[in-house]
Each structure stands twice: as C-alpha cells, then as structure tokens.
Amino acid sequence: MSGRRGHLAQRTVENVMGDDARLRGKGTYTAVYSREADGAWIVYIRGHRHEIHSFARSLRRARENIRDALSLWYDDAATATIVDRVELEGALREEVAETEELARLHSDVSQKLAAKRRRAVRVLQKSGLGTRDIAELLDLSQQRVSQIARGMR
C-alpha cells in the first residue's frame, strides 16, 4: 500500500494479527470502487469476516492496493480473482457501458472479418488469382495476403 493512510492500516492489522494469522481465502472477492470529491478512489471488499478497504489517486493503483490489503487478512490474495465493481454516477456509468458494448461489437466483427478474409484468400487462390490481384480485391497489402495464405497451410 502507498500513502500514509495505507501504511497506518497495514501496521495496525499486523499488530493485531501477526504474519501467521491470515485466514483461509475464498478465491473470489468483489471490490467496490467509488470516487471521492477530492478525486481519490476508495475501494472496499465486504461480505467477509472483515471489511477490507484502501484508497488511491488512480483506479489502477486502487486495484493494486486492494490486493495488498486483502493479503493482510487472507492467504490467497496473490492468486484470488477480484471482480471489480466501479460505482459511477448515471451519465458516466452509461458512457462506460456504451463504450464497452461498442468494444465488444468491434471485437466480434473483427473476428468475423478475419475469418472471412481467410476464406476469401483461400477461394481466390484456388480460382487461380495471384497475390497482387487478391490484395487489390480485398484492399489488403500483398504481405498481408501472403501471411494469411501461409497461415492456412
């Protein structure tokens, strides 16, 4: 943990429990993140014997800190799955959700396009067309057509 608050929390827990007193982990934890007015991220894990919490100036660092805080109480923190639940106000939550949906759609379409290009290269090669013509028809570079063709062998 970084920062003064994290250091004090860690030292307090170590004084109470000692290094060998960690609890057997549950494997999966849900971390809830919320943003304070000063811009800091507060993160906590509830639903266990202890409420585990931390903070940071960035979301990335808050994710690191909560795993560190978890390791003070549970023995599986290094390998545990931590499911993030970021709490944002309505408009921000919708913006993120829409972006995630478009990213998912983009990934799906990209995979379909790659499969279609592989099939098209194969069919066009079998018809006797050369690499240059296939590249021109599919709006790809000759190098990319060659890579696709080599990957099919």
Per-residue pLDDT, 131: 96
Per-residue pLDDT, 6: 47
Per-residue pLDDT, 24: 66
Per-residue pLDDT, 28: 87
For the chain, list the domains and their CATH numbers: 3-87 (3.30.720), 93-152 (no CATH)
φ, ψ at 139 (rounded to 5°): 55, 45
Per-residue pLDDT, 23: 59
Interatomic CA distance for residues 142 and 121, integer angstroms: 11
Per-residue pLDDT, 27: 83
**pTM more than 0.85:** no
Per-residue pLDDT, 12: 37
Per-residue pLDDT, 49: 73
Per-residue pLDDT, 130: 95
**Strand 41-45, strand 52-56: pairing:** antiparallel
Q: What tokens does 131 get? A: 């690499």
In the predicted model, residues of the chain with pLDDT beneath 50 are: 1-20
Query: What is the H or E stretch that residue 131 is in?
Result: helix 131-138
Query: What is the H or E stretch that residue 87 is in?
Result: strand 81-87
